[in-house]
Chain A
Amino acid sequence: MATSPALDVPAEPPAKRRKVSPEPPGRNDTLAATAASPPAVADLAEQLDEQERKKYVKGKKIGSGQYADVFSAHLVTNPTKLVAIKKIKVGPEVKEFGISYDSLREIKFLQELDHPNIIKLHSVFSTKNQNLNLVLEHLPQGDLLKLIQDSQGITYTPADIKSWMLMLCRAVYFCHANSVLHRDIKPNNLLIAANGEIKLADFGLARAMADPFQPMTYNTITIWYRPPELFFQAQHYGGAVDVWSVGCVFAELIAREVMFRAWPENEINMVKIICEKVGTPTEDNWPGVSKLRGYVTPGDVVPLRPREEWLANFRAIGDIGVDLLIKMLTLDPRQRLTAEGVLRHEFWTANPRPSRLEDLPRKGGGVEAMGESLKQRGGELPRDGGGAANGRADRVARKIDFGNMKK
């Protein structure tokens, strides 16, 4: 499993999860070893599992992906403490190695990363038939994709976009600062917490940044969000790959459509659409690009798209926002902003101010109704109907505003 059999296999369509080759083992093999450890240890592990499993009451299924089903659950001891249990489906590699690689990555990185905009992993347990269960923070408000797609029901403002993007960028900066590449940033992996916070989730494709000359797979990141260097089969890359994906999410939030939606979804078409929309990668705008193994560009060279064109397409976010977008979707990964550079961009502190969490639009129940119910304080009952304001005046001790009686 040192060399990856999947490296030269064309990517599967984005709707389905790519089965990425196992990364060079490194720290992971201790995990695999534990899972297939001798019976004496297994007994103890089983006991601990049992203990952990019994802490939760599993509820209904709230989502399902290519490699996992997600259930809502709550603590036995406290039914108001909700969690999400992600039950990893048993795949072929489980039979071989005793555990799935995706879940290994997810567990490994989520344990390391503690940040308000990264989903929290509370604990892990397994069941008899080697099924892994991840106990995750409960995020009941769906994902960003649902908001983007509900163009009938949900409108949002540039300030909302800024707020969501800022939370995403903080999460990505935090990953990179801790030497973790996420490699699957896209709107449906950005979940929304009850308070409106964005949480970067699904670390199934994450990996630690590689050492020099240690190859990484280029067959990663959902194809529409994949940067050009990976289409050119670069095997040594860095945080810039995630920044490209973040740029795609940014553009998608503004335009409400996928920025690089190649159809059919294959590498050739993706390179074509990137050339059309950004410009053709050449030695001029990207020194060294022609030396990359997979470097091919279709037909005539398209010059880099002028700023005016970007401005025309993304007018809604304003000049400063467009400037940031251009710098995230820069072809040459070395010229692309780093996650830290992104946070240093003036966009965040310029007007408008990013929306506050409680002002962000949410899905379901109509924006209005949602907004109302969320303004209530925790554990507070709705105030009795219509005359909230009037009813209150009666119940509050008389308080006359003497400050206003005289100028």
Chain B
Amino acid sequence: MSPVSKRDPRLGGGGGGGPDGELHTVMRGLSLQAPMPTDTGPAEVCPVCKSSRYLNSSLRFLVNPECYHKMCESCVDRIFSHGPAQCPIPGCRRTLRKHRFREQTFEDIQVEREVDIRKKVQAVFNKREEEFEGLREYNDYLNDVEDITFNLVNNIDVEETGRRFEAYQKANEKEIEENAQLAQQEKVSFSAMQKAERQQARERRDAARREENDERREVEENKRDVLNRLASGADAETVAKEGQQVQLKKRMDRQAATERQRQLQAASDSRNGSSNFVVKGLKAKQKAEPEAPIDPFGGIRIASKYFTLQDHYVWEGIQDTQKDVKHIAGGYDVRDYTHRSLCAAFSGLGVFIADEMTERDRATQDSEAIGTVRADIGLKDSLMADPL
């Protein structure tokens, strides 16, 4: 079996030219097209230089998330050390950069790719549970994110999904960055917790891998079963038919899942009344940035834009006060008086009757029940902000 003979037709090996060749910008550097299957040759032989692990036990294989084609470390060094170059795998014309090559974590290159996509999606859809009104809304959101991921992983509506992904990212740039920082902080301050989580993640990964191995073994067993039964003289036609049925059923399952996914997507599209991702059930933002510096004034400063207070006013009453020891020693500050007088003098200037009427209607019961008149106070310029 030649490494390239069984390339997935969807790969559109035409590189730059074909409709699939141009990756959507969002996912640039991450192949959305399913890469070629892994079973393209003995895992121990480099498809480029044909070096084999039998001869060189330290041989290391690397992949680049641009196309996920596997090759050995020395090939990577040789081909990409002088700058970006084309993937040497025949038919793949993607331009690869050396720094993006890495070791494959998962045996199955599909899993490898899915993990990459998930990481990418999660970096953008990084909303936190506490931002939602409730658990329900949060779960709905996770579900939507899963839909997106599923589409990208399974090459459903890649163009459209990518476009909406990008639109979402642009629209939520700031929140995404904030949440990323928050997550970073938590990582630092709760490193112990992180450790435990990493442990859990490892367990989950192991579980996923086990599951996958099981699946593969099942397929193989199935195949072997067919062969055995044929070998033991069973009717070839029946066995073939049964085998086909099993295969058919699996394909139908897959198709059904895809179809269901499409329907869900369509439903949620019409629900949102727009083709962009809209996250629903978010709590109204009210929490202040946790690390914003303390403003002792709490955002409220009483200052007038109409006048500046002077230290001295030429008016007998004021000058007398400033000379009177009983005023001075008692802590009477004549500036309080001049300030108040100026406030009163200017208090009409920033007032718009219409606003005042609304304000009064809102608070009718306050004043009218006892017939007081709201006194003028220099509040027009004050600004309210969240406490602490």
Given contact pairs A108-B375, A395-B135, A349 touches B296 in the complex (Cβ within 8 A): yes
**Which B315-345 residues have a C-beta within 8 angstroms of A?**
317-318, 320-321, 324-334, 336-337, 339-340, 343
Beta-carbon contact of A174 and B302 below 8 Å: yes
Say how far A360's CB is from chain B's closest CB, in angstroms.
9
Beta-carbon contact of B201 and A212 below 8 Å: no
Q: Of B366, B371, B377, which contacts A123 at CB under 8 A?
A: B366
Residue-by-residue, is A391-404 near B (CB-CB < 8 Å gives 1, otherwise 0)? 01001110111111
Q: Of A112, A122, A126, A209, which contacts B370 at CB under 8 A?
A: A126
Beta-carbon contact of B366 and A124 below 8 Å: yes
A146 at the interface (CB under 8 A from B): no
A292 at the interface (CB under 8 A from B): yes
Q: Which of B5-13, B116-124, B239-247, B260-268 sits within the interface?
A: B116-124
Say how far B329's CB is from chain A's closest CB, in angstroms.
3
B312 at the interface (CB under 8 A from A): no
Residue-by-residue, is B18-34 near A (CB-CB < 8 Å gives 1, otherwise 0)? 00000000000000000
**Which B355-381 residues have a C-beta within 8 angstroms of A?**
365-375, 377-379
Measured between beta carbons, the chain B residues less than 8 angstroms from A406 are: 105, 115
Beta-carbon contact of A354 and B294 below 8 Å: yes
A291 at the interface (CB under 8 A from B): yes
Beta-carbon contact of B330 and A121 below 8 Å: no
CA distance A353 to B292 in the complex (A): 11
B306 at the interface (CB under 8 A from A): no
Measured between beta carbons, the chain A residues less than 8 angstroms from B371 are: 30-31, 34, 45
B218 at the interface (CB under 8 A from A): no
A-B contact pairs, 14 of them (CB 8 A): A114-B379, A121-B366, A122-B365, A163-B388, A166-B296, A166-B298, A170-B297, A178-B378, A179-B343, A396-B129, A401-B122, A403-B123, A405-B115, A405-B201
Show the binding face of A for B, using Cβ within 8 Å.
Answer: 27, 30-31, 34-35, 45, 48-49, 52, 107-108, 111-117, 121-126, 163, 166-167, 169-170, 173-174, 176-179, 197, 209-213, 229, 232, 234-241, 286-289, 291-293, 332-334, 336, 338, 343-345, 348-349, 353-357, 380, 392, 395-397, 399-406
A166-B296, A292-B329, A404-B198 known; 18 new pairs, CB 8 Å cut-off, are: A30-B373, A107-B370, A108-B375, A112-B377, A117-B387, A212-B320, A213-B320, A232-B329, A237-B330, A288-B325, A288-B329, A291-B326, A292-B326, A334-B328, A344-B296, A345-B296, A402-B115, A404-B194
Show the binding face of B for A, using Cβ within 8 Å.
Answer: 105, 115, 118-119, 122-123, 129, 134-135, 138-139, 142-143, 146, 194, 197-198, 201, 204-205, 293-294, 296-298, 300, 302, 317-318, 320-321, 324-334, 336-337, 339-340, 343, 365-375, 377-379, 384, 387-388
